[in-house]
Amino acid sequence: MGHRPLGAARELRKFTGNSRLAPGFARQRVGVRWNAAIPWLATAVRLLLGGVFVVAGALKIPDPAAAVRAVRAYQLLPEPLVPPVAFGLPVIEIAIGLALLLGVFVRTAALAAAVLLVVFLVGVGSAWARGLQIDCGCFGNGGQVSTGETAYPLEVLRDAALLVVALTLARRPASRLTLGSVHPVQEEVRSAR
């Protein structure tokens, strides 16, 4: 479909000798191609973000005692709340990740991911600011580190990058290869074709 405008422009130029028309057509063609690429980009973003969340959640399930220590290490929650958060968080992460991987409720899942990432950023940032010696426990692990082996800048950078990705996806959730019902935006993309 994308070939016609340029072909028509070329023909037009041939017949009229008017080269001023051509750039406009060419620009339009680039726009069409870009619009067609965006849903595929969104698919890639969805799979990336979904994959990270599923893996992060799954790695926290096998060793629940480590998960408890990881949450406790932040010293932000009162002790009675620590185990439920440690056990429940991976379930939420996996649910969000699966929704993104399958392409169902993409906008809701992307927004939920963004909310979680903000919480993680606040947690890691505050641990850093308080000078705690902890591992973020993002991918399993009990939150302990060998003395002097914290990796706060990397953890903050990673979460911030994922937050940008999640927010972008929430803004434009239409993507290809989804299992879910056709999203309104996606329908627009289809009808535009």
Partner 1 sequence: MPADSTAVRSKRAATRRRLEEKRAAEAAARARAQRQRRNLFGGLAAAVVVLVALIVVVLVQTHRTTPSAAAATPAHTVDGTVIPVGSASAPVTVDLYEDFQCPNCKAFEAAAGSTLAKLVAAGTVQARYHGMAFLDTAANHAYSTRALNAAAVVVDTAGPEGFQKFHDLLYAHQPAETGSGLTDEQLMKYAVQAGANAGVAAADIEQRTYADWVAKSTDQASKDGVTSTPTVVVDGKKLTDLSASGLTAAVTAAQSR
Among 16, 19, 126, 181, binds partner 1 (CB under 8 A): 181
Which is closer to partner 1, CB of 3 or CB of 147? Answer: 147
> Is-contact 42 172, C-beta < 8 A?
yes
- Asked if 126 interacts with partner 1 (CB under 8 A), we say no
Among 5, 32, 87, 152, binds partner 1 (CB under 8 A): 87
33 vs 41: CA distance, rounded Å: 12
| Interface stretch with partner 1, choices 6-14, 17-25, 48-56, 87-95 (CB under 8 A) | 87-95
Q: At what angle do helices 184-192 and 21-58 cross, to 10 degrees?
A: 150
Size of the site for partner 1 (CB under 8 A): 40
Cβ 144 to partner 1, closest distance in Å? 5
> Is-contact 179 102, C-beta < 8 A?
yes
Quick one: 190 exposed, middle or buried, by C-beta within 10 A (0-12, 13-18, 19+)? exposed
Which is closer to partner 1, CB of 7 or CB of 64? Answer: 64
102 vs 7: CA distance, rounded Å: 38
Name the residue with tokens 């289809």. 190
- Asked if 46 interacts with partner 1 (CB under 8 A), we say no
Q: Residues 14, 19, 25, CA angle at the centre, nearest 5°?
A: 90
- Asked if 78 interacts with partner 1 (CB under 8 A), we say no
Per CB under 8 A, contacts with partner 1 among 132-161 are 132-135, 142-149
Name the residue with tokens 């992460």. 93
- Asked if 84 interacts with partner 1 (CB under 8 A), we say yes
Among 2, 5, 83, 125, binds partner 1 (CB under 8 A): 83
DSSP state for residue 80 in the 8-state scheme = G
- Asked if 129 interacts with partner 1 (CB under 8 A), we say no
- Asked if 110 interacts with partner 1 (CB under 8 A), we say no
108 vs 190: CA distance, rounded Å: 21
User: What residues make contact with partner 1 under the rule CB under 8 A?
Assistant: 61, 64-69, 72-73, 75, 79, 83-84, 86-88, 90-92, 95, 99, 104-105, 108, 132-135, 142-149, 180-182, 184
